[in-house]
Amino acid sequence: MLEMLRGKRMLFVGDSLNREQYVSLLCLLHRAVPEGARSFETVDALSIFRAKNYDATIEFYWAPLLAESNSDDGVEHALDDRVIRGAPMDRHSRFWKGADVLVFNSYLWWITGAKIQILRGADNDLSKAIVEMEAEDAYRLVLHQVVRWLDTNVDPKKSRVFFVTASPTHTNSQLWGEEMEGGNCYGQKAPITDASYRGSTSSAMLRVASEVLGAASARVPVGVVNVTQMSEYRRDAHTQVYRELWAPPTPEQLADPRSYADCTHWCLPGVPDAWNELLYWKLFFPAASDQAL
């Protein structure tokens, strides 16, 4: 893969699930690069891994909603009221220009259960009208913005674009047949074996992404890396309580580990490695991967 990326720039854009896929890829590749021939740095929202012998960079840019929002800080983004900007996304997209491979994702931050607030205008004047939209409508609006940006700024003869579908969560064990209320991924040690299991991933949001990105193929094709269903079965693969904690667990949490188990993010090595294997085939052997699917 490094040889195929020689002289190129690969950029992941999205949220913490996309960052996990990015970190997974670095873990898979870094042993092939001598220690003195690689570097890693993070500046604000941009992380850059350099494989110097290959003149290649693999980067991640934090933009959980793709459009500009009040959640764009790479660290301080846990806000109750999320506002996105309905104007052009120049603040983010200036970092995307020139990438030979773009890998987008955006899903998790759209399913908070509340309507999305959209700020009209291109400055920081919060006194301007804020319009509330259903999450599906706002998601469609932003994905259309991304497609328009791709049409204007990406040469399909030189660059490839991919969109990774929704990463599922496992926060309700009753969905896979357990009778106990309050159960989740905590303590799960085996995958779901029921092939018909579909989980709680929003089919409406998946449909919006499929419709918008499917229409993008007129000029700049967007390859869809469908990781949703393959990940639905992996209730056992989340970080659970083995995650970064910003504060020590309280006595109440320690008494009930389910209450602070992370059933959203994945262990590494783990599920995101499989996502990268699929991305690898779609990137370098598209005909073979399409036949396999």
DSSP 238-263: EEET-S--SSPPPHHHHH-GGGG-EE
Q: Given 151, 262, 289, 290, which residue is catalytic?
A: 262
Number of neighbouring beta carbons within 10 Å of residue 215: 12
Q: What is the dihedral of CA 20, 21, 26, 27, to 10 degrees?
A: 70
**63/104 Cα distance (integer angstroms):** 9
Active site residue 262: yes
Handedness of CA 133, 162, 17, 70 (dihedral sign): negative
Strand partners, 160: 101
Angle between helices 271-284 and 16-29 (to 10 degrees): 80
Max CA separation in the chain (angstroms)? 58
Q: Given 16, 202, 210, 289, which residue is catalytic?
A: 16
Asked whether the beta carbons of 165 and 206 are under 8 A apart, the reply is yes
Q: Given 159, 200, 265, 290, which residue is catalytic?
A: 265
Catalytic residues: 16, 262, 265
